[in-house]
Amino acid sequence: MRDFSSYSDLEIWSSFRAGDEDAFAYIYQHQASSLLKYGYQIGKDKALVEDCVHDLFIHLSLHRATINDTTSIKYYLFKSLRRKIIEALDRQQTGERHLKTYFYWTEKKSKSFEENLIAEQTTETQVQNLARHLKDLPPRQQEALYLVYYSNLSYEEIASIMSLQVRTVYNHVHTGLETLRSKMKEPGFERIIPLLILALALQYSAH
């Protein structure tokens, strides 16, 4: 397969639209990983996301002659994939959707009590503790944080993908971060004990 790495997005996209099979394969190989990961964040269902990515590329190949130009392939695909996933979720019942969110997080929480206890004593704990609170944020805040930190897309592109104003995306990110930060400030049990001891010691020395 030809190497397109020195080509601009616009050139690769034009080649693909002109019927270049190598360009099509190159686009898939370079975008599949980030598309699947992003889709999984919003769709929470591996099979559904894989179906949507499949459908997206089939749609592209069938309509290659009539689709728009783009200077950012990633942005174009993210936006299209998001639409496909929302449509797919809409076709399912709401109840089923709730179920999915539930599965998704119970899998992640299945660490034993002891494991969590040990983990809390290590230095990475703050990070891990906070990550647990991430799931409690509203879905839009989670999505905005995901895109801002993991997609390499600009606020403008993210706003367009999510069909929001740039300011609104920024607010989602900022509000989410404020919430996480407030969790970071909550003193853990292990941090209270030394304070209690100190308080007691001070009381005694005062007598």
Partner 1 sequence: MEERYNQYTVADFAADEDFIRWVKNPSQADIVFWEQWISQHPTKASSVKDARILIEAVQFPEYPNLKNSIDQVWRRIENSRQYSTRPLPTTFEEEEVHPSSSVWWKIAATFTGLLMMAGIAYYFVLPKNQIYQTAYGETRRVVLPDGSIATLNGNSSLELGKWEDQREVWLEGEAYFSVQKREDEKTKTPIKFIVHTSDVDVNVLGTQFTVSDHQQTRVVLNEGKIELMLIDKKERIVMQPGDLIEIDKGDKQLVKRTVNPVVYSSWKDNEWILDGISLKEIAKRLEDTYGLKVVVKKDPDPAVKVTGVVPTDDLDKLLIALSTVFNMEFKRQGNEVIIE
| Contact set with partner 1 (CB under 8 A) | 28-29, 32-33, 36-37, 40-41, 45-47, 50, 53-54, 57-58, 61-62, 99-100, 102-104, 106-108, 110, 126-131, 134, 142, 145-146, 148-150, 152, 154-155, 170, 173-174, 177-178, 180-181, 184
Residue closer to partner 1 by CB (options 45, 82) is 45
Q: How far is the CB of 155 from partner 1 (least distance, A)?
A: 7
Q: Which is nearer to partner 1, 19 or 199 (CB)?
A: 19
Joined together, the tokens standing for residue 22 give: 């190598």
Nearer to partner 1, 10 or 46 (CB): 46
Q: In sequence order, which ranges of the chain are alpha helices (DSSP H)?
A: 9-17, 21-43, 46-62, 73-91, 94-108, 113-121, 125-134, 139-150, 155-161, 166-185, 189-206
Shortest distance in whole angstroms from residue 204 CB to partner 1: 32
CB of 174 to partner 1, least distance (A): 5
* Shortest Å distance, C-beta 105 to partner 1: 8
Q: Which is closer to partner 1, CB of 61 or CB of 122?
A: 61
Nearest one of 150, 148, 131, 140 to 172, comparing CA atoms: 140
Whether the CA torsion 59, 64, 65, 67 is positive or negative: it is positive
Q: Which of 64, 52, 73, 63 is nearest to 17 (CA)?
A: 64
- Taking the complex as a whole, the smallest distance from the CB of residue 70 to partner 1 amounts, in Å, to 20
Q: What angle separates helix 46-62 from helix 73-91, to the nearest 10 degrees? A: 120
